[in-house]
Amino acid sequence: MLNCYHCGNNVVENEVIVFDDKNFCCKGCQTVYDLFSDNGLSNYYDFEKNPGAIPKDVVSKYNYLDNTDIVDNLLDFKEESTEIVRLYIPHIHCSSCIWILENLNTLNSAITHSQVVFSQKKVSITYNSQKITLKQLVLLLASIGYEPYISLEQYSEKPKLIDRSLLYKIGVAFFGFGNIMLLSFPEYFNVDDFWMLQYRDFFRYFNIFLALPVFLYSATPYYKSAYYSLKTKAYNIDIPMALGIIVMFLRSLVDIFFQDGAGFLDSMCGLVFFMLSGKLIQQTTYNFLSFERDYKSYFPIAVTKLDQQKEVPIQVYEIEKGNQLLIRNEELIPVDAILLSDTAFIDYSFVTGEAVPVEKKSGDKIFAGGKQVGNAITVEVVSTVSQSYLTQLWSNEVFQKKVTQKIQTITDKASHIFTPTLLTIALVGFIVWSFTSFNDAFNVLTAVLIVACPCALALTAPYTWGNVIRLMGKRKLYLKNTAVIEQLSKVDTIVFDKTGTLTSNSNQQIKYVGELLTKDDLKAIKNIVRGSNHPLSRRLYLILPETFIEKPLNYKEVAGKGIVGSFQNQTIKIGSTNWVGASSNLENNQTKVYVSINDKVKGFYVFDNEYREGIQELFATLKNKKYNLYVLSGDNDGEQRMLSRILPDNTQLIFNQKPNDKLEFIKDLQINGHNVLMIGDGLNDAGALAQSNIGISISENINVFTPASDAIIDASVFNKLPYFLNFAKNAMKTIKWSYCLAITYNIIGLSFALSNNLSPLVAAIIMPVSTASIISFVTVVSNYFARNS
């Protein structure tokens, strides 16, 4: 029997297509192979033998993709010639699938980027719509055996927490297990009854009939996993599981057909039932944690809603269709919207990586993920916020830091050596016991294969990380990914920005010093600062008298310096001393924002900084925990005396720091071997946040989206920073403890199995119990640390 080189299907000998000395079942598979070879993608077949699917002729099936309205509903993003779509592809199942789908640009140059989310069987594809349409893209995928499943309804559905096919397999296994045990009671109790002896063979053969669906259907996940594991030489724990099931079934057939006993069909069915139950526990728990992460851990990002000419800050998940929003300079646009202002310049670098702003006119559609550059604009919402989409933007690989996860590395290595070691122990045990009794040797072999539990390897890290992320999110620290937890536990140096981080925007006293400002001057200043997201600009805007809002011209904001714009034929500059050209002999002992009109310095606003509640206790606690503490500020040193009085003696205060100065300061600390945590407001600190080992952006009713940050902390829990650092360290302890627990379990279980004091059925029951115990342990311990860190 011949097999197709591409898809592995059986080939009828007189219908075989021979190409490049390889056999193909149809012209489609041969064409795909030829396509891969011509485009330098023949490595596809190095990952797995016969990995592909038979390509289908589906041209007419996707004619509806010629309809632009339908296409627009499917797209995540559309701007000029760049479009992004996420497609569900059921056939994704292995590493070769990921490889070919992430190299689609080699097959068609119009595809600029593709990324697979293996757990969801989805691929996100960025392509040039002027060179390839969505329909052509879908047909390309179908032609290489990866036909997508497209449904407009699927994007609004909530995730299914339980795989129904797994439930069916568990049901079949339980049915077989229960009935075989019921029919085997006479065997258990050795009943010496004529009727039982007369029909014993019938019941044994009937048990085979009941066991077949369990063996051929319920246990298939283990066969498939073991098969792919062996092919790729990435030995996983499903190999001994599958081997144990097959050995028990074959041994039972030999015993029954040769009249040597009733076999182990009840144990085999019980083994499958309990192992699948353990898999269900894992899947349900993991999906629950993922559900909590994706749909309930909303970022504490606010946006300004325009309500009857009043500006009201609201959380992003409160946005409704039809709302009008005010988007300031550098603010993220969290929803798809229609531009109401005359013009806008939108930076889509978060989505496409292209940093050149795109000009938009009134009435144009603006997609979520864009960032306004320049003057404030007004938009009308056309769809509610997609929190999972914001999470996807935040986690874009462009902004990922290259950090190594020690625990993950240990897990990978341990998983790779676990199965070969287990198989060796089982084989040695079988050989030793075979000198005593073949039945005993068989029991030892099966019990060893089943009882060994890799729970620590498979469950400890993901469940601990998942639960910690969920618990931190409930306490208003939102983490980008699991690597952040481990990095937090290693921090030895903490760097704080001052303005907007240590200082609070609430209850801030502001007074003006300088020439008297006219109503027209105040009107101009208010309209200029309205477009800025800087904390000082926002506070200044709120205390200026109400006035009619008009759009300034030539608006520009320079990080670390100030803003400039033209209003009613006047040029207004607001910002630092150097920015406005103020005289250096002006008093320089407080935080000030200078104002110049038509290049004449009018005066300055003095901000009496209101430091966040609990700031002294926070720094004192961090000092006692031996952290190195630094405060960086772009302001002058007017606040040095105040800060020196409220902060510990060992806190280093550094002023007049431009954004690039902060970045270089972080870099110098890292060169000297420090693991640095940077906390800033996300405005002027983006470079420093990106450079640091861990960057946390603080949020206080400001819609500032900093993709370079690793976490977002709500300003209301800023003083709980020591708690989060301690919790991260305790999470590491949880993992180490659960490793010890699982290793202890394996040592005890294997000792009982090797001494022939553990039956295969009992081993099968213990396995899911151990799985549940590990999940319960990490959940209970991490919840305990969440309360007591």
Report the candidate in 267, 275, 258, 254 with the shortest Cα–Cα distance to residue 211.
267
Q: Where are the beta strands (DSSP E) in 36-110?
A: 75-79, 82-88
Angle of helix 406-434 relative to helix 438-451, nearest 10 degrees, comes to 170
Q: In Å, how far from its chain's centre is CA 125?
A: 18
| 760 vs 449, residue with greater confidence | 449
d(Cα 289, Cα 469) in Å, to the nearest integer? 9
Tokens of 658: 């431009």
Flag whether pLDDT at 578 surpasses 90. no
* DSSP type of residue 481: S
The reported pLDDT for the residue numbered 773 is: 79
| Beta pairing, strands 553-558 & 562-567 | antiparallel
* pLDDT tens digits, one per residue of 60-94: 677 778 888 788 878 878 877 888 888 888 777 55
At 158, list the tokens.
């909530």
Instruction: Quickly name the fold that domain 504-610 has.
Output: Calcium-transporting ATPase, cytoplasmic domain N (3.40.1110)
Task: Kindly report, residue by residue over 398-422, the tens digit of the pLDDT.
Answer: 555 554 444 444 555 555 666 677 7
Better-predicted residue by pLDDT, 54 or 365: 365
pLDDT at 242 over 90: no
Element (H, E) at 699: strand 694-699
**Does 504-610 match 60-155 at the fold level?**
no
DSSP string, 653-685: EE-S--HHHHHHHHHHHHHTT--EEEEE-SSS-
pLDDT beyond 60 at 50: no
- CATH 2.60.410.10 assigned to domain 465-501+611-725? The reply is no
Distance CA 75, CA 81 (A): 13
The type of residue at 413 is K
How far apart, in whole angstroms, are the C-alpha atoms of residue 463 and residue 444?
32
Q: What angle do CA 560, 563, 566 make, to 5 degrees?
A: 165
| Rounded average pLDDT over 419-444 | 82
Distances (CA, A) of 708 to 680, 692, 693, 694, 711: 12, 10, 11, 10, 9
Is the pLDDT at 275 greater than 80? The verdict is no
* Beta bridge pairs of residue 510: 607
- Distance CA(171)–CA(166), nearest Å, equals 9
Encode pLDDT of 725-756 as tens digits: 999 999 888 888 887 887 788 788 888 888 88
Range with the poorest average pLDDT among 16-25, 317-326, 521-530: 16-25
Q: What's the pLDDT at 172?
A: 92
Domain 2-47 has CATH 2.30.30: no
Mean pLDDT of the chain: 76
In sequence order, what are the beta bridge partners of 113? 126
The per-residue pLDDT for 545 is 78
In this predicted structure, which of 75-79, 117-121, 418-422, 618-622 has the lowest mean pLDDT?
117-121
Taking the C-alpha atoms of residue 31 and residue 145, their distance in angstroms, rounded to an integer, is 11
Right CATH number for 302-396 from 3.40.449.10, 1.10.3720.10, 1.10.3470.10, 2.70.150.10?
2.70.150.10
Task: Give the C-alpha separation, 6 to 49, whole Å.
Answer: 8
Instruction: Please state, in angstroms and as integers, the Cα–Cα distance from residue 712 to each residue in 265, 378, 481, 500, 675, following that order.
Output: 55, 26, 12, 14, 19
The radius of gyration of the chain's CA atoms, rounded to the nearest angstrom, is 33
Q: Which of 389, 390, 381 is nearest to 305 (CA)?
A: 381
Partners of 600 in the beta sheet?
Answer: 597
pLDDT tens per residue across span 151-206: 655 444 444 545 678 889 989 999 988 888 888 776 666 666 666 667 777 888 88
pLDDT > 90 in the chain, percent: 2
In angstroms, the CA 755 to CA 751 distance is: 6
H/E element, 688 = helix 686-691
User: Dihedrals φ, ψ of 610, to 5°?
Assistant: -105, 110
pLDDT tops 60 at residue 5 = yes
pLDDT band, very low/low/confident/very high, at 47 (cuts 50, 70, 90): very low
pLDDT for 175: 92
Between CA 22 and CA 42 the distance in angstroms is 13
Give every CB contact of residue 437 below 8 A, 6+ residues apart in sequence. none
**Taking CA 211 as the corner, what is the angle to CA 210 and CA 212, rounded to the nearest 5 degrees?**
95
* SS3 call for 402: coil
Domain limits of the chain? 2-47, 60-155, 164-295, 302-396, 415-455+726-789, 465-501+611-725, 504-610
The residue written with tokens 């772009």 in the block is: 634
CA torsion 759→764→770→775, rounded to 10°?
180
Percent of residues in the chain assigned helix, strand, coil, to nearest 5: 50, 20, 30
Name the residue among 246, 180, 252, 251 with its Cα closest to residue 219: 246
Residue 589 has pLDDT above 80, yes or no: no
pLDDT at 654 over 50: yes
Handedness of CA 730, 732, 738, 740 (dihedral sign): negative
Phi and psi for 613 in degrees, rounded to 5?
-65, 135
Q: Within 13 A of 737's CA, how many CA atoms are on the CB side?
A: 17
pLDDT digits (tens, 9 = 90+) for 204-224: 888 889 999 999 999 888 887
pLDDT digits (tens, 9 = 90+) for 667-685: 899 898 899 999 887 666 7
Q: Which residue in the block uniquely carries the two structure tokens 């392509």?
A: 127
| Amino acid, res. 218 | S
- Report the alpha-carbon distance of residue 244 to residue 238 in Å, rounded: 10
The residue with tokens 């044994």 is 204
Query: 586 or 165, which is more confident?
Result: 165
Average pLDDT of the segment spanning 523-546: 80
Q: Is the pLDDT of residue 349 over 90?
A: no
494: which 2 tokens?
A: 């903490």
Residue 789: per-residue pLDDT: 73
Q: What is the DSSP letter of 357?
A: P
User: Is the pTM here over 0.75, yes or no?
Assistant: no
CB 378 within 8 A of CB 306: yes
pLDDT of residue 295: 47
Q: Name 22's Cβ contacts closer than 8 Å, sequence gap at least 6.
A: 5, 33
Domain 60-155 has CATH 3.30.70.100: yes
- 501-530 mean pLDDT: 79
C-beta of residue 480 within 8 angstroms of C-beta of residue 710:
yes
Q: What is the largest CA-CA distance in the chain?
A: 116
